[in-house]
Amino acid sequence: MSRDRELQAIRAVVTDYLEGMIYGQPDRLRRAMHPLCMQAGHYKGSYEFFPRDEFIEAIGSEKMQPPGTPYAAEIVSIDVTGDVALAKLTDDCFGTSFTDYLTLIKHDGAWQIVMKAFFDHANATKD
């Protein structure tokens, strides 16, 4: 697959992740994130380290946007080495701004997120 097609495939996974989260679409999140995917960071001052399904369940209590609503997000960069990629993105949801670092791996011809680390800008603690 050409580099452009690989980047397009990664962007599609990142879009499923973003819109799955922002629009409250768990099936899109499950498609984008490997079943063993972990997510970690500080949210509203509390340290979180969740497996994918616990993350999906936890965001169910957040205020979601109706599907199709415009949202603020940008894929800042994508770095690919072979079958491993790192996507850095910024997004606004759940009353804050995030910087997300998504590690993806291509397996059996498909990209999936295997790890998510995030920074919650609005609720960052001062150390």
Alpha-carbon gap, residue 47 to 28, rounded angstroms = 25
Q: Return the pLDDT at 124.
A: 76
Domain boundaries, position 58: 3-120
pLDDT at 77 over 70: yes
pLDDT in tens, 4-22: 999 999 999 999 999 999 9
Question: 113 exposed, middle or buried (CB, 10 Å; 0-12, 13-18, 19+)?
Answer: buried
CATH of the domain at 56: 3.10.450.50
125 domain-assigned: no
Please choose, from the candidates 2, 1, 14, 5, the residue with its C-alpha nearest in 3D space to the C-alpha of residue 77: 14
Looking at the domain assignment, is residue 87 inside a domain? Answer: yes
Report yes or no: 10 and 87 within 8 Å, Cβ to Cβ: yes
Q: Tell me if 90 is assigned to some domain.
A: yes
